[in-house]
Amino acid sequence: ETGVTQSPTHLIKTRGQQVTLRCSSQSGHNTVSWYQQALGQGPQFIFQYYREEENGRGNFPPRFSGLQFPNYSSELNVNALELDDSALYLCASSRGGGNYGYTFGSGTRLTVV
């Protein structure tokens, strides 16, 4: 059983650029959630995808968008990057909607300069 894999592991972008982060969910899981963890903070919910549809969204602006594919993998896209977007982005997959049985990936460390 493979776990959740995220790519890339580290990324440096310039303010104003766009970035795409990728996540492969654990085998058998059909729900993917994305979280942002700023330095010294706990993870904050960005949004969740269930069966390719957005299934809940946190308090993040529309320039944060996502996709889920038929194989349940997912992308997080961030447009017009700001310095405050620098954070660890965590993907978590689970079976069914909701948060039960989350498996987290190791995250993508995004630095915006």
Partner 1 sequence: DQQVKQNSPSLSVQEGRISILNCDYTNSMFDYFLWYKKYPAEGPTFLISISSIKDKNEDGRFTVFLNKSAKHLSLHIVPSQPGDSAVYFCAASAYNFGNEKLTFGTGTRLTIIP
What are the residues binding partner 1 (CB under 8 A)? Answer: 4, 33, 35, 40-45, 48, 50, 55-56, 58, 90, 92, 96-99, 101-107
CB of 15 to partner 1, least distance (A): 26
In terms of CB distance, is 20 or 103 closer to partner 1?
103
CB of 47 to partner 1, least distance (A): 9
Q: Between the CA atoms of 97, 99, 105 and 108, what dihedral angle is there, to the nearest 10 degrees?
A: 90
CB of 75 to partner 1, least distance (A): 18
Report the distance separating Cα 27 and Cα 47, nearest Å. 20
- Token pair 């965590």: residue: 90
In terms of CB distance, is 76 or 92 closer to partner 1?
92
Report the distance separating Cα 8 and Cα 23, nearest Å. 9
Q: In terms of Cα–Cα distance, which of 83, 92, 86, 97 is closest to 16?
A: 83
In terms of CB distance, is 14 or 62 closer to partner 1?
62
In terms of CB distance, is 56 or 75 closer to partner 1?
56
